[in-house]
Amino acid sequence: MTVRLSVEGATKRYGGLTAVDDVSFVVPDRGVTAIIGPNGAGKTTLFNLISGAQPPTAGRVVFEGEDVTRLPPEAKAARGLVRTFQLVKLFADLTAAENVAVGTHLKTRGGFLSAVFRPPSIRRMEAGIAARSRELLDLVGLGAVADRKAATLSYGRQRLLEVARALAAEPKLLLLDEPAAGLNAEESARLSDVIRKIAASGTSVLLIEHDMTLVMNTADDVVVIDFGRKIAQGAPAEVKANPAVIAAYLG
């Protein structure tokens, strides 16, 4: 196993509140790592520190051996670190397929002039983008609504669309923030399937999730956060039986 991501002593303070408190763990280059913890434990804040949405107060984020702590999100995305959002952030004016197409931004080329003159190479590229978007929408079960405006989709479908869009960026590490929230049973089962496929294809996955069935079904390793601190880490079954974890959840 080689290390894809290493979080070292990550800390985030908001005034007097320490949302993330000296958290360290590593994400291997394969498999699914889950982060669980009660509401307000600091999971999303931790994601923000990793993805560059916010700078940490202290600590380091190392991605594939490079210190990326202070890089802006777009620079981290360019290195293969791509996230989704707990509160979906879709591009409302675009269709589902176009949203996924935006995901291919880093993997494609072309600016204003090539858009206007549309030479054969750009036509081919656009055809490729359309096919790929279609494929990813089918994967998450949204093939039938490819041409609908993202804003008109149900909440669960919007979440799945975010996953497809992030996948289009061909990440090396995919960060998913509660992807199963708002999904019905069928969608949730499909998501579980999709996450395993993503991991099998060589992308490591870091997953924040409250849905324990999904965590048990997909995760190889579980990190437990409570009040900003890491209180446990281990295999799903192991963590589930850990007294400190049970205490945290029972409050």
Partner 1 sequence: MTNSPATTSPDAGPPGLGSEAEGTPARSGLALVLGALPWLVAAGLVGAAGYLGGYLATIVAFALIYAVFVTGLNIFMGFTAQVSFGHNAFAAIGGYTSAVLTTTYEWPPLAAFAAGLAGSLALAGLIGWPTLRLKGHYLSMGTLAIGLIVYEIAVQWESVTQGYLGISGIPSLGIGRFEATGDRQILAVLTAIVLLGAFVVARMRRSRFGRALSAVAGSEEAARALGIDVARYKLASFLLSAGFASLAGTLFVHVVGYVSPEVFGLHMVILAFTMLYVGGLGTVVGPIIGALVISLLPETFRGFRDYQDLGYGAALILLLIYAPRGMAGLIDLAAGRKAS
Ligand X SMILES: Nc1ncnc2c1ncn2[C@@H]1O[C@H](COP(=O)(O)OP(=O)(O)OP(=O)(O)O)[C@@H](O)[C@H]1O
**Which residues form the interface with partner 1 (CB under 8 A)?**
51, 53, 72-74, 77-78, 82-83, 85, 89-94, 98, 101-106, 108-112, 114-116, 118, 122, 125-126, 129, 135-139, 141-145, 148-149, 151-154, 156-157, 165-167, 169, 184, 186-187, 190, 197-198, 201
Cα gap 91→78, rounded to integer Å: 20
DSSP assignment letter at 107: G
Kindly state the tokens that stand for 232. 């446990």
Candidates 16, 39, 116, 251: give the one binding ligand X (CB under 6 A).
39
44 contacts Mg ion (rule: CB under 5 A): yes
> Cα dist. 43→33, 177, 191, 222, 228 in Å?
13, 8, 20, 13, 8
Contact partner, 2, from ligand X, partner 1, Mg ion, none, Cβ < 5-8 Å per class: none
**Binding segment toward ligand X, per CB under 6 A, in 36-44, 76-84, 90-98, 152-160:** 36-44
Q: Is 54 exposed, middle or buried (0-12, 13-18, 19+ CB in 10 A)?
A: middle
44 contacts ligand X (rule: CB under 6 A): yes
Contact partner, 126, from Mg ion, ligand X, partner 1, none, Cβ < 5-8 Å per class: partner 1
Candidates 34, 36, 41, 163: give the one binding ligand X (CB under 6 A).
41
**Binding segment toward Mg ion, per CB under 5 A, in 28-36, 81-89, 91-99, 131-139:** 81-89
Q: Which residues contact 53 (CB under 8 A, 6 or more apart)?
A: 47, 73
158 contacts Mg ion (rule: CB under 5 A): no
DSSP assignment letter at 224: E
- Site size toward ligand X (CB under 6 A) is 12
55 contacts ligand X (rule: CB under 6 A): no
37 contacts ligand X (rule: CB under 6 A): yes
> Cα dist. 126→58, 118, 193 in Å?
43, 10, 29
Contact partner, 89, from ligand X, partner 1, Mg ion, none, Cβ < 5-8 Å per class: partner 1
Cα gap 84→7, rounded to integer Å: 19
Is 96 in a helix, a strand, or coil? helix
Q: For residues 235 and 48, is the Cβ–Cβ distance under 8 A?
A: no
Contacts with Mg ion, residue ranges (CB under 5 A): 43-44, 86
